[in-house]
């Protein structure tokens, strides 16, 4: 089969690969431990709830999910609907801060700016 492919290729596309042995491509089949990754992200979600100054029950209510489902998110037993966190005005920024805490090299900086209007 190799000879038939080389024979039909235009002269400009021919390369001298005769000395290259034919081998099967190998895939990296390293199994990712999804349970551990979900559990780690659940800890980040729990930290976001803590940073927001809420308890789990209140956070679940703000996100519009059952307390049991929220608990499964935090324990890593179920994939969370992260968009619900980001859509919430209190939990969204808290989640970003919690993720930054777990990111090597990330710096968290809180900036407060006040503009004062002076009346003459």
Q: Considering the chain, what is the average pLDDT of its residues?
A: 85
Provide the pLDDT for residue 81. 95
pLDDT of residue 106: 85
Burial of 72 (0-12, 13-18, 19+ CB in 10 A): middle
pLDDT value at residue 55:
96
Instruction: Give domain 34-101's CATH superfamily.
Output: lambda repressor-like DNA-binding domains (1.10.260.40)
pLDDT > 60? residue 108: yes
Could you tell me the pTM of the whole model?
0.65
- Segment 59-68, tens digit of pLDDT: 999 999 999 9
With beta carbons less than 8 A apart as the criterion, state whether 42 and 73 touch.
yes
The pLDDT score that the predictor gives to residue 61 is 97
Answer yes or no: is pLDDT of 42 > 60.
Answer: yes
What pLDDT is recorded for position 24? 80
């Amino acid at each position: 089969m190799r000879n038939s492919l080389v024979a039909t290729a235009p002269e400009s596309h021919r390369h001298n690969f005769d000395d290259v042995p034919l081998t099967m491509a190998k895939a990296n089949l390293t199994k990712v431990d999804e349970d551990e990754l979900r559990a780690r992200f659940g800890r980040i979600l729990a930290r976001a709830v803590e940073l927001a100054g809420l308890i789990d029950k209140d956070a679940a209510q703000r996100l519009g999910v059952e307390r049991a489902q929220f608990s499964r998110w935090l324990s890593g037993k179920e994939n969370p609907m992260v968009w619900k966190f980001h859509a919430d005005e209190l939990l969204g920024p808290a989640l970003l801060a919690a993720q930054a805490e777990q990111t090597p090299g990330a710096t968290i900086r809180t900036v407060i700016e006040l503009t004062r209007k002076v009346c003459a």
